[in-house]
């Protein structure tokens, strides 16, 4: 089935980053003001942290960036190359070449904007036990220009796409591009899927997030992101189902499609919520000793979901595929996966 899908059926836009992954102690996180299971944009004080990492820790270099991770996992699940297209910005350097190589190897058709004189973005993925803390230095990823999607050859890829996904992180870079593509999808009644991505997105980027949600037919998030959304929206509740119902009912551009909100909560059931009601999908718990690290579990969940969604499967089946992908990825370091996908 997957092989017969048209090339470029799914389009993603985001920040392509190279993950510098290392096992660290809690003291290291405290020293640099980082929290477990959080994701932030780094500021000037973290520059020295990257230096200390490279000098004193064993660092693995793994392709990252939330949306790009999801597309790589989606491709792995499909086992048929070039079903996905990705836009983002990299530097003209060895990290950029490595990212491009790894993404293409995974079957993603990456159409990067290459920015001279600025380094490819990196993300410190700091693993402490089963927890992960992400600190992103966007660098070149932050230079993405709206003009890139409007280039004739790139706009042709937008027109070709039938599904569009972007994690909220890209709203800090080029919200205009997100809205342009989402609006194009809406005009063709094609699904737009977005992700709250991290607590700081609703906290500090409320306006661009609200615009993206207006176009969104599907919104993904985890329990911490949902709580941050509720707080930013001025909701009086901390109940995940109530937050999801509120989000499902927020005004939307495409009235032909109802909005579906999907909240993951670690090993607890996934909530699938629309104005029609709430469904809970159980997660198969992995024994603790099998969990290597939880970095990219959320990205993998979305990748698994998308792999079935673009084949026209129902939401619950897509969620089960998401759970499968997430459980495979947390048994590996970073967003890497076994050579063979056994999902049926």
Q: Let me know if 299 is a catalytic residue.
A: yes
Strands (DSSP E) along the chain, which ranges? 10-13, 17-23, 39-41, 60-64, 84-87, 89-91, 108-110, 113-115, 122-128, 131-137, 163-167, 192-195, 218-222, 260-265, 268-274, 277-281
**154-191 b/e with 16+ CB inside 10 Å = b?**
beebbeebebbbbbbbbbbbbbebbbbbbebbbeeebb
Give the closest residue to 5 by CA, choosing from 74, 72, 68, 66. 74
Q: Which of 147, 268, 299, 315 is catalytic?
A: 299
Q: Quote the CA–CA distance of 180 and 187 in Å, as a whole number.
A: 11
Q: How far apart, in whole angstroms, are the C-alpha atoms of residue 52 and residue 99? A: 23
Query: Could you give the count of Cα atoms lying within 13 Å of 64 in the half-sphere of its Cβ?
Result: 27
Active-site residues, by number, are: 299
């Amino acid at each position: 089935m997957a092989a017969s899908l048209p090339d470029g059926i799914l389009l993603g836009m985001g920040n392509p980053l190279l993950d510098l992954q290392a096992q660290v102690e809690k003291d290291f996180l405290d020293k640099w003001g980082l929290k477990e299971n959080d994701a932030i944009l780094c500021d000037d004080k973290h520059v020295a942290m990257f230096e200390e990492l490279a000098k004193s820790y064993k660092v693995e270099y793994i392709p990252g960036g939330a949306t790009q991770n999801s597309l790589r996992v989606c491709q792995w699940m499909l086992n048929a190359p070039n079903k996905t297209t990705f836009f983002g910005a990299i530097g003209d350097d060895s990290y950029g070449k490595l990212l491009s190589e790894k993404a293409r190897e995974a079957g993603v058709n990456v159409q990067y904007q290459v920015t001279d004189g600025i380094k490819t973005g990196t993300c410190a993925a700091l693993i402490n036990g089963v927890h992960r803390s992400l600190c992103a230095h966007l660098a070149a990823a932050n230079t993405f220009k709206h003009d890139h999607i409007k280039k004739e050859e790139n706009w042709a890829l937008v027109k070709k796409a039938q599904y569009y996904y972007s994690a909220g992180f890209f709203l800090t870079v080029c919200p205009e591009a997100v809205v342009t593509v989402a609006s194009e999808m809406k005009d063709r009644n094609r699904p737009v899927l977005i992700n709250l991505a991290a607590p700081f997105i609703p906290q500090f980027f409320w306006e661009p997030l609200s615009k993206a949600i207006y176009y969104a037919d599907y919104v993904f998030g985890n329990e911490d992101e949902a709580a941050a959304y509720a707080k930013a929206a001025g909701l009086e509740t901390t109940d995940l189902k109530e937050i999801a119902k509120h989000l499902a009912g927020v005004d939307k551009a495409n009235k032909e499609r109802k909005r579906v909100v999907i909240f993951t909560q670690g090993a607890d059931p996934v909530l699938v919520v629309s104005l029609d009601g709430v469904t809970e999908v159980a997660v198969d718990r992995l024994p603790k000793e099998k969990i290597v690290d939880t970095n990219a579990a959320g990205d993998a969940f979305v990748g698994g979901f998308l792999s079935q969604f673009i084949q026209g499967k129902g939401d619950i089946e897509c969620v089960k595929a998401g759970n499968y992908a997430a459980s495979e990825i947390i048994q590996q370091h970073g967003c890497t996966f076994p050579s063979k996908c056994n999902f049926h």
